[in-house]
Chain A
Amino acid sequence: MLLVCYTLWYSKYTFGLSSTLRLELDLQTRISNFMQRIVIIGNGISGVTAARHLRKLGKDPITIISEETPHFFSRTALMYVYMGHMKFEHTKPYEDSFWVKNRIDLVQDRVEEIDYEKKSLTMKSGGQLSYDVLVLALGSKPNKFGWPGQDLKGVQGLYSFQDLELLEANTHKPFATGASKKVHRAVIVGGGLIGVELAEMLLTRGIEVTFLVRENRFWGNVLPLEEGEMVRRHLIQHHVDLQLETELKEILSDENGRAKAVVTSKGETIECQVVGLTAGVSPNIEFLKETALETQRGIMVNEYLETNHPDVYAIGDCVQFSTPPPGRRAIEQVWYTGRMMGEVVAQNISGKKQKYAPGFWFNSAKFFDIEYQTYGNVAANPVEGEMNFYWEEKGGMIGVRLVFAADNHKLIGINTFGIRMRHELIDRWLREGQTVEYVLQHLRNANFDPEFYRTFEAEIVKEFNSAMNANVVLAKKSWKQILNLTK
């Protein structure tokens, strides 16, 4: 199908017709319909969102070129495929027929060169493609910090579909026992979200996991001490050998060029058959470096997601803002920022110019069985002028942190562990600048846990009152609220 699409499209616009005819055809279409050919590189969440919104807003021909897979899939679900929760099919948010129905052409190829003057792309297959508007949605790639042995067999990151296939090849099949079990221990380097996911994945195949983390706690550049500690306890509960303040020094090779052990900064040698490198990701822009496109760590864009070339936009993980939106970082590599940039770029290309305004930060993750959500800004380490209140349930698996301004007590951010909170409401509180006391008083309304779950608001308020010498009174639920007659 893809091939047919591709060839048809190709023959129409490139060598199938003489170049003059091609130009003429082009011109005709454009003049008659004011059409512009939009080409998007990258079929991840950002590129695909842009395409969907562009299609909604107009009739311009849209092509997505992407190397990794023929169709958009959810990168965040790679772990569930390996663990057998889902098949790869299930990670595709849209049925394959969706793209045909919405006239979004898909091309599986790699773009190797961009000619900004001629507005044309050169692909790995040798083909050429011209564009009127180009959107770069290139995503990220796993970081490698030049460790000795980082390119040995059995050493890998986890980002792409190909990484998943590689992991399947590097490890044994599910349910393997005895001699067919080829990996007994894996070492994971870098304590972030992808690392903990990789640990969970490998454990389902009966592989023991050693987890090397540079900081003094898990995900130390994001999580405050107590939360990092909670995750540490939970990792141990799942039999992960977590080694804090330990770095990778070297990966040792066996006679076949395959990893056989790692040496840590503490001088320990750990035998292993697989090494997972999960020390963060960076924009995937190798082929654009040193070209006419302005890049630093990522592709430089302004608040309209425009690059230094007219008609060339960039969105998603690969982007670096020259002036980040208020309260946000210059590079943000998460799912929903990619989605929002896709939404905004579609508006901009369609002539409804608007700024990228992501609002308050939020995010979520899951560490084995503990769900985590965060809204607003919760700094990993204490910040001047901010106050913290942290409550933890006795079992040590549930916790809430509230960060607020020391002077006027306005809420700055909230971390929740093992409790779900209502995004809409907390976002509103942040926007309205509500105080921590107000938030606590109405905390019940923010609870998003399933029905019948134990609630902790009373306990949290009580502890807040005693810790802060305050007297917040939890707002009673009106009978209307109890009967769900009103929110």
Chain B
Amino acid sequence: MKTLNIIRQSGLYIFLLALVLFTGSIWIGNYQISQEVMETYVAEKGIQSELFLESVNATVVGKEFTSSWSLHHALDQAVSAANSTHKANGEWGKVIWSKSSEMAFVLGKRGAGGSVFDNKGMWLFLTFGLGILGGLMFILPGIWLLGPAGIKNNNVFFNPATNRGWIGWIAMIWLVLFYCILYFMPHLAMSWTFIVEPVKDVFAPGGASQWFLYGLLYCTVMLVMGIRMIIKYRHSKYHIVRTFSVLFFQIVFAFLLVELLPLFQLPAVDFKNAWPLDYDFLFDWNVLDLLRNEAYGKFGLFVFVWGIFFSLILVPVFVYFFGKRWYCSWVCGCGGLAETLGDPYRQLSDKSVKAWKFERYIVHGVLLFAILMTVWVGYHSYNVLHDAEPNDSQAVLLGISAHDVRSWYSLLIGSIFSGVIGTGFYPTFGNRVWCRFGCPLAAYMGIVQRFKSRFRITTNGGQCISCGNCSTYCEQGIDVRWYAQRGQNIVRASCVGCGVCSSVCPRGVLKLENGPEEGRINDNPILIGNGEAIIRDTIG
């Protein structure tokens, strides 16, 4: 016991050390952009602005920058000075549309030096390596320390890491900043991408993007926290099986295949990603790539048809048979992260009726937005495919440009909602913030699940004692008890079928099951025991 506790403690410190090193690596590195690098870049991007060239030649090229932000600052100044002149003069052809952060990322990576750049392998070990090691040292002793298999929620609401206490808030701030860097300030992530390059080299040498970093980190975190999940719920085969399932789909479909397919000159697709979660499916570049890229042969067409068939036919049919859980808790990457990294936070979701109302407006609002956005980009892609000559009016429908619609969607939903808020808010507002309030696919499947499905959570007669464990631990903020204590089955659009309510129920009241539609929704159940009395409980 003592030794195990020491191992656990040390694991925590090692993990924190890895986290500090990972975060600190942002401050490490120097950058020098040669004339040649700059010229290649300008040519690649087709930058026409001589003002910009003049200014970067004076302030950037050949200079030594000691941080990614000073490099970014210099580039940003050059871009905005040039752009404001060009815009004032109406020289639209010369305006630079590339974001300065993206520019700093690309240029910086080509002219980087410093400890991280020079010792990628060592840094990989110090961050990912120590992080995994520390994490496992913290998690594995649980096999013995947690005691006999069973529900392990002791002290959850006394621990500042899991009761929305100070550790939770710090974790939230860290995650939010991480996502902000990832989406909006990639130049800050340069060191991180160097760290993962030894892994990237296994697939294809030539530098890692921030998305490769994110993918690898995602899989690593899911794997380590998946092990935690399995140890914690080792009494329940349901949880063990579905944890293996999400890990499999994330690692094989969302990561490995996406990395491997391009090696065979095939498009990097995640086959399990369904529209409208996969919101860029009908974007012109994707459609053109799949349908016009000769290198893919018939494969591109297959991917295109699969995407449509999967999203419009398979998804609802599977929801009909199994409920949306087959996707949300078994296959989906977002769900996978929520069920592994997010498991310690499931009790923080808001259960109030107010939150439920808010949820219905916002999640269906996002679905509507996604559908409209798809109509616009679909119209655009159709035109692009059918018109020989590209022209500006192709994107405009009812006076609104598809480009605008899709960039708003990508920014607001694709980045801010799903990433910054959706995952960033785990430690304070629960692990399914995105899935509950933001995911358009969840909204779409939810409608099917509510009105035409064989899935329900059956309430076991009159056994409920209204204790509230189920509602407390429902990550989707469903007040499960409300139904259970009235003997009513739970049929809710938002239920992702995680099965935790059933596990934490101390009286064995809840069972997730698929069955005949008849009797699935029992609005006015007669609670067993008062059988002779016709008492209908429908108040409230």
Chain A positions within 8 Å of B, measured between CB atoms, are: 45, 52-53, 55-56, 74, 76-77, 80, 83-87, 90-95, 98, 101-102, 173-175, 204, 234, 237-238, 335-336, 339-340, 343-344, 347, 354-355, 357-360, 362, 364-366, 368-369, 371, 373, 420, 422-424, 427, 431, 448-454, 484-487
| Cβ–Cβ < 8 Å partners of B372 in chain A | none
Pairwise interchain contact B540-A423, C-beta atoms closer than 8 A? no
Q: A371 — nearest CB in chain B belongs to which residue?
A: B508
> What residues of chain A lie closer than 8 Å to B154, measured between beta carbons?
83-85, 204
| Residue B156 lies at the interface, judged by CB distance under 8 Å to chain A | yes
Q: Is B415 an interface residue (CB 8 A)?
A: no
A and B contact pairs by CB, cutoff 8 A, 24 listed: A80-B468, A86-B157, A90-B468, A92-B468, A93-B485, A175-B158, A336-B529, A343-B537, A344-B530, A362-B463, A369-B148, A420-B460, A420-B511, A422-B460, A424-B460, A424-B528, A448-B511, A449-B511, A450-B511, A484-B454, A484-B515, A484-B516, A485-B516, A486-B516
Contact B529 A45 (CB under 8 A): no
Stretch at the interface among B48-56, B88-96, B233-241, B362-370: B233-241
Q: Does B101 count as interface, using CB distance less than 8 angstroms?
A: no
Q: Which residues of A have CB within 8 Å of B469?
A: 77, 80, 85-86
Q: Are A85 and B528 closer than 8 Å at their CB atoms?
A: no
Contact B461 A362 (CB under 8 A): yes
Across the interface, name the chain B residue whose C-beta is closest to A420. B508
- 1/0 per residue, CB under 8 A from A, across B451-473: the answer is 00010001011110111110110
Known: A74-B467, A359-B530, A450-B503. A85 touches B513 (CB 8 A): no
In the complex, the answer to whether B531 meets A357 with C-beta atoms within 8 Å is yes
Shortest A87–chain B CB gap in Å is: 5
Taking CB atoms, residues of chain B closer than 8 Å to A448 are 458, 460, 508, 511
* Contact A95 B506, beta carbon cutoff 8 Å: no
Q: In whole Å, how far is B322's beta carbon from the nearest beta carbon of chain A? A: 9
* Chain B interface, >50% SS class: loop
Chain A residue at smallest Cβ distance from B519 = A487
Q: Whose C-beta in chain B lies nearest to the C-beta of A416? A: B508
8 Å CB contact of B529 from A55, A174, A340, A422: A340
Do A371 and B153 touch across chains, with their CB atoms under 8 A apart? no
Contact A74 B151 (CB under 8 A): no
A308–B431 alpha-carbon span in the complex (Å): 55
CB-based A-B contact count at 8 angstroms: 192
Tell me how many residues of B have a C-beta within 8 Å of chain A.
61
When A362-B461, A364-B508 are in contact, do A52 and B467 touch as well, CB less than 8 Å?
no
Cβ-neighbour of B528 out of A359, A369, A371 (below 8 A): A359
A35 vs B135: C-alpha distance when bound (angstroms): 65
Q: Tell me whether B528 and A90 are in contact (CB under 8 A).
A: no
Q: In this complex, which of A344, A365, A450 has the most chain B Cβ atoms within 10 angstroms of its Cβ? A: A450
If A87-B157, A364-B507 touch, whether A424 touches B461 (CB-CB below 8 Å) is: yes
Q: Tell me if B206 is interfacial: C-beta within 8 Å of chain A.
A: no
CB of B290 to closest CB in A, whole Å: 36
- Scoring B residues 470 to 492 as 1 if CB is less than 8 Å from chain A, else 0, what string do you get? 01100000000110010000000
Residue B532 CB within 8 A of the other chain? yes
**For residue B159, which residues in chain A have a CB less than 8 angstroms away from its CB?**
84
Q: In the assembled complex, how far is the CB of residue A175 from the closest CB belonging to chain B, in whole angstroms?
A: 7
Known: A90-B468, A175-B158, A343-B537. A423 touches B502 (CB 8 A): no
Interface contact B528-A427, CB-CB below 8 Å: yes
Known: A93-B468, A336-B527, A450-B511. 9 other contacts (CB 8 A): A53-B535, A80-B469, A347-B535, A354-B533, A355-B533, A358-B529, A420-B511, A450-B236, A452-B237
Q: Hey, which chain B residues are within 8 Å of A87, CB to CB?
A: 157
Complex formed: what's the CA distance from A99 to B397 in Å? 51
* B residues less than 8 Å from A359 (CB atoms): 528-532
Query: Is A344 a contact of B153 with CB atoms below 8 Å?
Result: no
Contact (A484, B537) CB under 8 Å given A90-B471, A238-B148, A452-B241 = no
Q: What is the bound-complex CA distance between A347 and B235, given in angstroms?
A: 43
Contact of B516 with A453 in the complex, beta carbons under 8 Å: no
Q: In whole Å, how far is A251's beta carbon from the nearest beta carbon of chain B?
A: 28
Q: Smallest distance from the beta carbon of B51 to chain A beta carbons, Å? A: 61
Contact indicator B511/A335 (Cβ below 8 Å): no
| Other-chain residue from B471, B527, B540 in contact with A98 (beta carbon distance below 8 A) | B540
Interface check B35, CB cutoff 8 A: no
Contact of B85 with A by CB under 8 A: no
> In whole angstroms, what is the CA distance A453 to B528 when docked?
26
Q: Answer whether residue B411 sits at the interface, using C-beta atoms and an 8 A cutoff.
A: no
CB of B440, distance to nearest CB on chain A (Å)? 28
B150 and A368 within 8 A (CB)? yes
CB distance from A283 to the nearest CB of B (A): 20
B59 sits at the interface (CB 8 A): no
Distance (whole angstroms) from the CB of A64 to the closest CB of chain B = 15
Question: Complex: how many Å from CA A449 to CA B502?
Answer: 9
A340 touches B472 (CB 8 A): no
Among B158, B236, B463, point to the contact of A423 (Cβ < 8 A).
B463
List 4 A-B pairs, minimum CB-CB distance, nearest first.
A423-B461, A369-B150, A420-B508, A77-B467
Q: Which residue of A lies closest to B499 (CB)?
A: A450
How far is B482's CA from A431's CA once the two chains are assembled, in angstroms?
28
